């Protein structure tokens, strides 16, 4: 299977969303927590990237592990 087909598996998407929500929230609180009171200075693009990066890392790790497992089984 291709990388992107595996990355769209519901189990992988669900797990990656959960990880991104937890890690992204923690990182946003660390990096921009003081700006939440003053939303005019809050940087939304940084906020979105802070959630996107853990999602991508989690998805990459899960798909890579599945691909390695499939290679070894062949």
**Domain extents for the chain?**
3-73
Q: What percent of the chain has a predicted confidence (pLDDT) above 90? A: 64
For residue 74, what pLDDT band results from cuts at 50, 70 and 90?
confident
- How buried is residue 63: exposed, middle or buried, by Cβ count under 10 Å (0-12/13-18/19+)? buried
pLDDT of 42: 78
Residue 71 is predicted with a pLDDT of 87
Average pLDDT, the chain: 91
Q: What pLDDT digit, counting tens, does each position of 24-41 carry?
A: 999 998 988 777 777 777
Query: For residue range 61-71, what is the model confidence (pLDDT) as tens digits?
Result: 999 999 999 88
Task: Extract the tokens encoding 59.
Answer: 């998805």
């Amino acid at each position: 299977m291709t990388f992107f087909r595996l990355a769209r598996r519901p189990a992988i998407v669900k797990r990656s969303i959960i990880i991104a929500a937890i890690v992204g929230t923690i990182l946003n609180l660390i990096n921009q927590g003081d700006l939440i009171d003053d939303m005019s200075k809050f940087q939304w693009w940084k906020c979105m990237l802070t959630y996107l990066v853990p999602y991508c890392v989690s998805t990459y790790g899960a798909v890579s592990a599945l691909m390695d497992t499939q290679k070894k089984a062949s």
